Amino acid sequence: MPDESWVGRSLDPSDPYQVSRVKIREFATAIGEDSRICHEVDAARAAGHPDVVAPPTFAATITMPLIEAFLREPAFGWDYSRMVHGDQSITLHRPIRAGDELVTVIHVDDLSTRAGSHMLTLRCELTDADGADVASTKAMLVTQAAP
């Protein structure tokens, strides 16, 4: 059983994640995003951005490894081997761009058990080096209760 005392808690801020042109281009290519602002600096600058722009779902590149590390924390008690992804949302407060240095804080928003499944909602808040909001993500994860 996951430890319900985690609900309402926030984890320590992550180490800064350096967003690079290479990562943005690789991610954009992998998902089939061919917008020039995701691949070409000149196109991004012509559109008013300081550098190439990440597709909105790029935020998962930053948050999912942090979420995975938390879920594998023995003190939390989550059965990662039985987990499925129930829902995901991403809200951008501004585009993620090459050159950003982003810090993530994970918030444990909810944990409930229904019909033999544990449902966990985690919210990630991404901020830039100045502390300004960049993106918010929410993931609802489900794992089967131990038999």
Share of the chain above pLDDT 90, in %: 82
Residue 1 has pLDDT above 80, yes or no: no
Q: What is the pLDDT of residues 127-143, one digit of tens each?
A: 999 999 999 999 999 99
Cite the beta strand spans of 6-132 per DSSP E: 17-18, 83-92, 101-114, 117-127
Instruction: For 95-105, write each residue's pLDDT tens digit.
Output: 999 999 999 99
The whole-number average pLDDT for the span 52-58 is 97
Please tell me the pTM assigned to this model. Answer: 0.92
Q: What angle do CA 123, 68, 136 make, to 5 degrees?
A: 20
Q: Please compute the mean of the pLDDT values over residues 41-48 and round it to a whole number.
A: 98
What's the Rg (C-alpha) of the chain? Answer: 17
